[in-house]
């Protein structure tokens, strides 16, 4: 487990958006968000995912796996939705430290690796920087982690 057994993962709630557990039934809105934002996800989060070949079925499988890991408390994937739950604005991921982490952090001295992305539309509206600040405050106030590895390639604020 990534957190103590009795820890209940919190929701990040703001006046115009909510970050909550990502579920398989979010696949349609998640897929639209991901495929419309491949370049900005690569620019901000880094990595090779997603690829243009991603299918809705692939996304459904990924989301199902994320949902199960959340339930087992081995990792946490959050969808970031507008208040009406009609648009996915991005996602937040809490993963165990990995041997593949950069030289800046080792898995031995880090509690968690956190990354996130927002859609191109949300990024263009300045939401990436705002979400970054909100995530940092949320983790400091409501999560049990002492040392976080902020895994995004582009960090718009100081972590």
Neighbour count for residue 151 (Cβ, 10 Å) = 23
Strands 17-21 and 76-82: antiparallel
Q: Residue 109 has what pLDDT?
A: 83
Q: Residue 98 has what pLDDT?
A: 76
pLDDT one-digit tens code per residue, 130-150: 999 999 999 999 999 999 999
The domains of the chain are located at 12-150
Banded model confidence at residue 108, pLDDT cuts 50, 70, 90: low
Q: Residue 78 has what pLDDT?
A: 98
Q: What is the pTM (predicted TM-score) of this model?
A: 0.94
In which element (H, E) is residue 33 found?
helix 27-35
**Domain 12-150, CATH:** 3.40.630.30
Q: Residue 79 has what pLDDT?
A: 98
pLDDT of 115 higher than 80? yes
Question: Cα dihedral sign for 8, 12, 14, 16?
Answer: negative
pLDDT one-digit tens code per residue, 6-50: 999 999 999 999 999 999 999 999 999 999 999 999 999 999 999
Q: Residue 104 has what pLDDT?
A: 53
CA distance 9 to 60: 22
């Amino acid at each position: 487990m990534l957190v103590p057994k009795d820890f209940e993962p919190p929701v990040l709630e703001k006046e115009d958006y909510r970050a909550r557990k990502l579920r398989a039934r979010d696949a349609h809105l998640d897929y639209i968000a991901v495929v419309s934002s491949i370049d900005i996800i690569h620019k901000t989060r880094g990595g090779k995912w997603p690829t243009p070949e991603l299918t809705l079925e692939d996304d459904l499988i990924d989301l199902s796996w994320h949902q199960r890991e959340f339930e087992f408390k081995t990792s946490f994937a959050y969808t970031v939705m507008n208040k009406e739950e009609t648009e996915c604005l991005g996602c937040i991921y809490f993963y165990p430290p990995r041997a593949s982490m950069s030289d800046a952090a080792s898995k031995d001295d880090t509690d968690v690796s956190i990354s996130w992305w927002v859609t191109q539309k949300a990024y263009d509206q300045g939401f990436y920087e705002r979400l970054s600040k909100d995530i940092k405050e949320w983790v400091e106030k409501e999560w049990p982690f002492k040392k976080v590895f902020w895994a995004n390639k582009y960090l718009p604020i100081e972590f």
